[in-house]
Each structure stands twice: as C-alpha cells, then as structure tokens.
Amino acid sequence: MSTSAETVSKKFNIDTVENAAKTPDTELPWAELGLKQNEFDEVVKVLGRRPTGAELAMYSVMWSEHCSYKSSKNHLRQFGEKVTDEMKKDMLVGIGENAGVTNLGDGWAVTFKIESHNSPSFVEPYQGAATGIGGIVRDIISMGARPVAVMDPLRFGAIDHPDTARVMHGAVAGIGGYGNSLGLPNIGGEMVFDSVYQGNPLVNALAVGVMRHEDIRLANASGKGNKVVLFGARTGGDGIGGASVLASESFDDTKPSKRPAVQVGDPFAEKVLIECCLELFKGSLVEGIQDLGAAGISCATSELASNGDGGMEVELTSVLLRDPTLTPGEILMSESQERMMAVVTPENIAAFEAVMDKWAVEYSWLGEVTDTGRLIITWEGEVIVDVDPRTVAHDGPVYDRPFARPEWQDAVQADSFTGSVQDAARPSAPAELAAAVTELISSPNMCDKSWITNQYDRYVGGNTAMAMPDDAGVVRVDEETGLGVALATDANGRYTYLDPYHGAQLALAEAYRNVATAGAVPMAVSDCLNFGSPEDPDVMWQLAEAIRGLSDACMVLGIPVTGGNVSLYNQTGSTPIHPSPVVAVLGKLDDVARRTPSGWREDGQAIYLLGTTAAELDGSEWSNMRGHLGGLPPKVDLAAERALGEILINASRDGMIDSAHDLSEGGLAAALVESSLRYGVGARIALQDVLDRDGVDLFTALFSESQGRAVVAVPRSEEIRFKDMCTARNFEHLRIGVVDAASGQLEINGVEPLPLDSLREAHEATLPKYFD
C-alpha cells in the first residue's frame, strides 16, 4: 500500500490523514457543509491539523444543530437537573440514549420518544413524513424493544392555502404508507392548521415499544476484538447532509432546491429489520446496537465508539452501496434509511449471520472494537479518519445564544380578546349560541379528524384498546394481566406564543390530563421542541422559557423527561413559527380493560363537570376563529391538574365513571359535542349552577379554555361514591346534566337544541371539503 502524500485511489482522490497533515493550506468546503468559521477553527484545533475531507464530513453533520443540540444544550440540561426522587423511581434509562426507558412493573419496561421530521416533510411530504416514522421506530428498536404503536402530531399551514393540500396529502399518505406497512397501530396524534406553519409544517412522530427488563440494549461498542457490522438497506446517495443542511437552516427562496437531501424510505425493509433485530435480541447476539438516522455512519460509529470503553476501526470500502460512485465523505454522511450498526462478539458471528440469512437482510462486517480510544476509518487500508470519537459525538460546540424577552411581548399580552374588535359580536341568544357551537366544531382545528386517521391502521397487533378520537391512545402490553400503556401528545403554539413559560406547561398539563382521563397513571414525558431560529434572540428566549417552564412543571407533576428532540430553524425568512413544544406523556394502566373512553353511552347516567371555569378566552379556538391572538393564555395550576388526575384515575380503577373527556381547545362546548358524537348518544345539560358558582356567562362557560377540567359520565349507582371522592379531595365538581339516549340531540339550557345528526355532518364535512 502506497503511503505517499500524492496517494490516488483507483476511484477517488483520497484525502488521507497523512495527506491532510502535509497539506495544511488546502481549501475545504466547510461553509457549504454548514459549519461556521469558528466551528471549523475548533475542528482544526481538536485535530491539531486540518481535517481530511471525510473528517470534515463527519464533524459537519455531527456538529450540526440537529445532531449536537448546540443552541439548546445549555437549557436542556434542566431536564436532567430538576429531577426528584419521585421522578427517578421508575426511570430505567434516562435522557441521552436513543430513547428513555420506564419501568412498567411485572418485569416489563416501556420506551418511547417523539421526534421531528419537519423540514424534509415540507420539501418532499410523502418521503419526509414516511422516514420520520421509520427513524423513530429504529430508535425504539435500538433500545431492545418491540415497537407497538406510533402517533403523529401534525401542524400545517392555513387550511385554505393552496400549498397546504400538497403537504397534508403527502404527509398523511407517507405516515400511513410507511407506518401501515410496519404493522404498528397508529393510536393518535394532533392536527392543527395555522398560517404560521405555512412554509414550516411540523411533522412529528412518536413511537413506543415494550420489552422485558433484561432485554434493554444500549448504544455502545465495548470489548476489544468484537466485530462491527452494518446491516439492513444498502447505503445510497439519499439524505446526504439532511441533518446539517436541511434541519439546521431556515428555508429561503433564493437558495437552490434541497430535494436531494431528503431520504427515501422502504417500509418493507424496515419491517424485516424490526423482526430481524428482535430475533438478534432474543438470542443475545449483539453487545451494542445503534440505528442509522441523522448523520448516518458518522453518527453511528462515533456514538458507539464514544459510549464504549475503547475505540473502533472501520474499513469504509466494506460498506455495501446502492451507488458505487459515492465518495467516502458521502458514505459517511448518507442518511439512507433502514440501516443498523451492531457490535457482535466473534463467537456470535455465525449465529448473527444465520439470523440475517433467515430474514434475507444484507450485512457487511466493517471492522472491530479496539482499545486505542480512537475512531479510525480507512479506505482500502489508508487512514482517512483518525479522531477521538468523543470530539465528534459529544464535544461539539455549545452556544450560549443571546436571548431576551421580545419587545413586542408586552403589547401582545396586553391585547386581550375580551373587548377587542374581533369580540364585537359575542353570541348570547339561544340560536346564536347553537350556531357558535356548530361553527366551533366544524372549524379547521376542531373538526373531525377521521379523514386522516382512517388512512392509518389502528387495529394491527390486536392490542389497541383506544385510539383517536379518544383522549389518549391505549395499547395492551401483557395479554395475560391486561397491563398496558396510554399515550397522548399535545401542544398549543398560540398559548406558547403568548407566554412561552406557561404555554409549555399548558402543553404538558394537557397531555398529562389526557392520559389521566383515559384512566392511566402518568409516568414519563418526551418532548419535541419545535421553534424558529436560535440565532434570533426573541426565538431563543421562547425556547429558554419553554424549557424552563416544562422542567419546572415536570417537578410539580412528578414525572421525568426521558428523551425527545429539538427542531430549530422552523422559520421562513425572518418569520418563525409559533413556539411549539409538543409534549408526549406516557401513562400506565394495570388493566387496560379499565380504560375510560371519551363518550357516554348509558341512558340516564349523570354528567359532571370537574374543575372551575374562568373567563379565559385569550388564545382560545374561539378567538382564533375570530382572527385574534393576544392576551394571556389560561392559567396553569399544576396542583389542580394532579388532583384532577388522581380523581380520574381512581374513578376509572374503581368503576365510578363510564366516560371522561378532558376540556382543552374549544372548552366545554367542544367536549360536550365530542362526548355526544363519540357513540352517537345525546345529553341534556344545564349550566346554571356553573354560572352561579364561577360568575361567568353561558358563552364563557361554553367557550373558555380554563384548564384542569373534565366532563365525566357517572352511573347512578356510583354517584354518591364519586361525589364523596371529589369532596374528600376538595375538588370542585358539579352535576351538569344527564345522558339522554332517546333524544338524538345535545340540549344545553339557553342554547337551541343541537341534533346529533347535524352536528356530526358539520363536524365531519370540513376535511373532505378541503382535501377530497
């Protein structure tokens, strides 16, 4: 093997480490790869020489915002620091691994995580959304778990904007096309339309998986002489620079199309990979495992090596390629999907290969674990990367970005909906109120979402106990005992825009409430923080405040953040999206048969409203419908949320309630309609006691979005016991009506009766009108 500085490979001009040392002045395209001058200088300092082309490729992707969290790291730290003993009790694996792991009891563990795939889903909606599902599912497999369900919170531009249909159709078909092919039920999510997301739709994806405690796997490469293997799909030219170029920059009309940076998914390959990995885990055939997502092989090799106890040597020409013309740098950066990297002991090689052959999965042995502390990557034996893997994976730049409360924040908060121009014609007569309820439940954000959810398989697996449109998705984990999990995701960008600290807390409170409404005990949090550019001090303040709010609230609610993702640069030109911290809460049900659905069914059951109502219309769906955004979001009372949660959980466990629905966007009006339409069973409601107790008018009682509330249906036989429980816990509760199965309508005193048929027609017509 030649070692001269002028070494030329048969295929490429190879920039070896030796060559780099001898040619310090060679111009490198660091700016095109997304690095800043100071970051490139830092790479040179870390290496003591200029990087090779391959090293530059690795550092550029791994030090990107998407992979390194360089702008948010200083703030995210709070999730690890503000942790009480109560929060640690059930945490088996915390932040930092592919996904956190929570103890479910009976030897079961659950892992879940939410991630963004925003930018690719705007550029190429189908593939962007599809590979978002693929990536989060591989994170779950990497922990040793069997994935059991997915969810997808979605935020699009204005419903009537011509481009929204393109993104909506593509993203929904992509999530369905990929997720449905994996055999994972889609059990819920969100759908929001707002023009702030026009050029920056948010396509977030959540996956949850379960495993036995002994099956937990971590991403590290330990044990000198163990072999490193890459398996799954071949490496191609798709997604090169996806993390650094797409996910870490704002969109701008003046730059060329970024389509080549979007990955293309193959769900069949992923399904086979899932089963293949589970068989590897079952046979204890891998020592460490890591999925290949953002930054591809660069990320997998540097993370595995730096989390292990030694180093790693890899021969890059051993990588199986889809396109033989790829350069070493491209191979290192490619984000081709459906690939995994594992560390296997020499004794297990034959057994490993047998599993690959059974599932017809391609694999190639790339190298082995060493004890040098260095990550060495060679190309036909010549060293093209020689780095301390920690400097790539963990010691990236960290920025203390300047942040400050925006100058406009005070003016926005002072601009309350009440008394505004948009509030001029507030409905009060019975016919006006009936029209208002119908308008609300057919509005873009409150309408029926089955146009989307009917494109997802909610049945596969046979363990789905609840899915959309109930408050939370519920999946059985253990068929013998009925042990299961509930999941909900929530965010309200409007609330968070008005007050980032409390807005983030409101997202957590709602997800927490949704899980408790289903009857599950909330246990853990995963968050996907979607924000604009961190280089804008206003946005950075929103991010800092949201993280501070979220971490403070987690302490009060006693549930830890076990993982998540930050998505920055969601802005078009200088206009950022609303700050959108999407919060997922996972809860546990000892027996999913005890879950509480969101609709009532039994004639004559008493309907109770839990919690109190204040005049809180700022940021509400009603104000949104009237084109107003200002004032302060509803007040957060986390102690009340906890108390409400306990009531809902106990009532579910002890069979005191047959239905429960949380009050959130759209307030009591939306909840009453949804609980009636869920099973097509009407109700008679009288709110006079609520108006008297809370000092609000009927409109406010129906449309205010005060937090910490739920409506429940209580069997007659349980009414005394239920009331006693609420009284004992000192929680406000009022009987507001009765289930009326025969009427076929929702009757609210002071509102013209609402026939369920016409409510349903209005509720279901909106999405087909715009998207069919």
Partner 1 sequence: MTELPLIGEAAAAPSAGSPDASRLAGAKIGVITFPGTLDDRDAARAVRLAGATPVALWHADTSLGDVDAVVIPGGFSYGDYLRAGAIARFAPLMSRIIDAANSDARLPVLGICNGFQILTESHLLPGSMIKNDHLKFMCRDQVLRVENNNTHWTSDYAAGQEITVPLKNQDGQYIADEKTLDALEAEGRVVFRYVGFNPNGSRRDIAGISNAAGNVVGLMPHPEHAVEVGYGPESLDGIGGTDTDGLGFFTSVLNKIVGDAK
Residues within the interface to partner 1 (CB under 8 A):
146, 148, 173, 176-177, 180-183, 210, 266-269, 271-272, 278-279, 282, 358-360, 453-467, 476-481, 592-593, 597, 599, 601, 678-680
Q: Cα(132)–Cα(87) distance, rounded to whole angstroms?
A: 29
CB of 62 to partner 1, least distance (A): 32
Q: What DSSP letter does each residue of 361-381 carry, written as one string?
A: --EEEEEEEESSS-EEEEETT
Which residues have C-beta within 8 Å of that of residue 157, sequence separation ≥ 6?
A: 163, 164, 167, 193, 194, 195, 196, 197, 198, 199, 201
Locate 727 and state its tokens.
């009284």
| Residue spans of beta strands (DSSP E) within 157-196 | 186-193
The one catalytic residue in 117, 502, 628, 763 is 117
> Considering beta carbons, is residue 438 or 453 the nearer one to partner 1?
453
Q: Cα(465)–Cα(476) distance, rounded to whole angstroms?
A: 7
Q: Cα(322)–Cα(296) distance, rounded to whole angstroms?
A: 15
> Considering beta carbons, is residue 12 or 679 the nearer one to partner 1?
679
CB of 464 to partner 1, least distance (A): 6
Within 10 angstroms of residue 364's Cβ, the number of other Cβ atoms is: 16
CB of 103 to partner 1, least distance (A): 16
| Residue spans of beta strands (DSSP E) within 382-520 | 382-387, 464-466, 473-476, 484-490
Using CB atoms within 10 Å of the CB of residue 161, give its burial: 0 to 12 exposed, 13 to 18 middle, 19+ buried. middle
Q: Cα(338)–Cα(282) distance, rounded to whole angstroms?
A: 20
Gap between the terminal Cα atoms of the chain: 63
Q: Distances from the Cα of 577 to the Cαs of 161, 401, 492, in angstroms?
A: 16, 19, 12
CB of 97 to partner 1, least distance (A): 22
CB of 606 to partner 1, least distance (A): 21
> Considering beta carbons, is residue 350 or 360 the nearer one to partner 1?
360
> Considering beta carbons, is residue 398 or 460 the nearer one to partner 1?
460
Residue 578 a catalytic site member: no
CB of 478 to partner 1, least distance (A): 4
Strand 606-610 and strand 659-662: pairing?
A: unpaired
CB of 180 to partner 1, least distance (A): 6
**Contact of 672 with 746, CB cutoff 8 Å:** yes
Which residues have C-beta within 8 Å of that of residue 757, sequence separation ≥ 6?
A: 744
> Considering beta carbons, is residue 120 or 599 the nearer one to partner 1?
599
**Contact of 291 with 139, CB cutoff 8 Å:** yes
> Considering beta carbons, is residue 177 or 199 the nearer one to partner 1?
177
CB of 360 to partner 1, least distance (A): 7
> Considering beta carbons, is residue 272 or 738 the nearer one to partner 1?
272
> Considering beta carbons, is residue 354 or 414 the nearer one to partner 1?
354
Taken as a whole, the chain contains a residue count of 772
**H-type helices in 89-124, by residue range?**
118-123
The one catalytic residue in 66, 75, 733, 763 is 66
Which residues have C-beta within 8 Å of that of residue 271, sequence separation ≥ 6?
A: 181, 182, 183
Q: Cα(279)–Cα(359) distance, rounded to whole angstroms?
A: 10
Strand 375-379 and strand 311-315: pairing?
A: parallel
**H-type helices in 376-449, by residue range?**
389-393, 409-414, 430-441
Residue for token pair 């987690």 = 554
CB of 254 to partner 1, least distance (A): 36
Q: Distances from the Cα of 567 to the Cαs of 195, 302, 502, 543, 579, in angstroms?
A: 19, 22, 20, 11, 11
For residue 498, which of 551, 440, 546, 445 has the smallest C-alpha distance? 546
> Considering beta carbons, is residue 70 or 339 the nearer one to partner 1?
339
**Contact of 493 with 194, CB cutoff 8 Å:** yes
**Under DSSP, is residue 510 helix (H, G, I), strand (E, B) or coil?**
helix
> Considering beta carbons, is residue 210 or 585 the nearer one to partner 1?
210
H or E stretch covering 580: strand 580-589
CB of 661 to partner 1, least distance (A): 14
> Considering beta carbons, is residue 148 or 507 the nearer one to partner 1?
148
CB of 593 to partner 1, least distance (A): 6
**Under DSSP, is residue 335 helix (H, G, I), strand (E, B) or coil?**
coil
> Considering beta carbons, is residue 278 or 649 the nearer one to partner 1?
278
**H-type helices in 15-84, by residue range?**
17-22, 37-47, 53-62, 65-68, 73-81
H or E stretch covering 220: none
**Under DSSP, is residue 290 helix (H, G, I), strand (E, B) or coil?**
strand
**Contact of 155 with 580, CB cutoff 8 Å:** yes
Residue 161 a catalytic site member: no
CB of 676 to partner 1, least distance (A): 12
Q: Please list the active-site residues.
A: 66, 117
